Amino acid sequence: MIELRTTEFDPLDELAIYQKRLAAGKYGACCNFIGSMRDFNEGDEVSKMTLEHYPGMTEKFLQTICDEANEKWPLLDCLIIHRTGDINPNDSIVLTAAWSAHRDASFAACRYLIEELKHRAPFWKKENTGQGERWVSENTKAED
Amino acid sequence: MNITVKFFASLREQTGKSDASISYAEPISVLDAWKQASGMQSMPENTLCAINMEYVNHSTLLSDGDEVAFFPPVTGG
């Protein structure tokens, strides 16, 4: 399932709620990634952020990424929740999770979901710093 | 033939518009659509393009009724 949220969400609550919808006894592994907003970036304090997206295309790509993960690994389910709009430091921005019978597929699929999201899903961050507003020019590479 | 053009994030601010409609008689490319809709502004080198919500390159030709979008590198997650 993929979902965009315009308000704050608790990723651990979301995981617990979603997992209860899955077939009990069928999954043996759940890996998840939670991305949160920092109050600093590139040496500056960041007091607020706005996340813009392309309505329609963003949802389409999140679903495509889930579908691809399901094709690559034997998963029971995938979940992506992503914030849009105004975001404050410490808010959760994104949750990705993958459930499978064994851990290898779950680890690999969860990593795939967040990396592909960061490279392909149309979202754009604008930060508010003490010097004014600025667009984030690009995401950091995975090894950074 | 008519197409809809959308600009997002920094490109919306650069062009001063979020949407535009353009008409043309001959087949045009994504880059041609940028020139017409932006008022001949230069396109930033790292600009990404989509037609009907699928990524394409700058030389892809447009069809009647297409929605073409221009945006900077994505920064979600």
Cα radius of gyration rounded to whole Å, chain A: 16
Backbone φ and ψ of B49, nearest 5°: -130, 145
Res. A141 pLDDT band, cuts 50 70 90: confident
Mean pLDDT of chain A: 96
pLDDT digits (tens, 9 = 90+) for A22-63: 999 999 999 999 999 999 998 999 999 999 999 999 999 999
How close, in Å, is residue A25 to chain B by CA atoms?
31
**Would you say residue A144 has pLDDT above 80?**
no
Res. A138 pLDDT band, cuts 50 70 90: confident
Residue A88 C-beta-side C-alpha neighbours within 13 Å: 3
Where do the domains of chain A lie?
A: 2-135
* Alpha carbons A28 and B47: distance in angstroms, whole number: 42
Which range of residues forms the domain containing residue B45? Answer: 2-71
Q: Which residues of chain B have pLDDT under 70?
A: none
Which residue of chain B is at minimal alpha-carbon distance from A114? Answer: B77
| Residue B51: inside a domain | yes
Reported ipTM: 0.96
Look at chain B and report how many structural domains it folds into: 1
| Residue B36: inside a domain | yes
Q: Which two tokens stand for residue A81?
A: 């929740």
Which residue of chain A is at minimal alpha-carbon distance from B48? Answer: A122
B75/A137 CB distance under 8 A = yes
Nearest to B70 by CA among B22, B11, B16, B27: B11
**What is the per-residue pLDDT for A139?**
85
In CATH, the architecture of A2-135 is Alpha-Beta Complex (3.90)
**What is the per-residue pLDDT for A130?**
86
| Residue B77: inside a domain | no
**Would you say residue A4 has pLDDT above 60?**
yes
Contacts of B18 in chain A (CB under 8 A): none
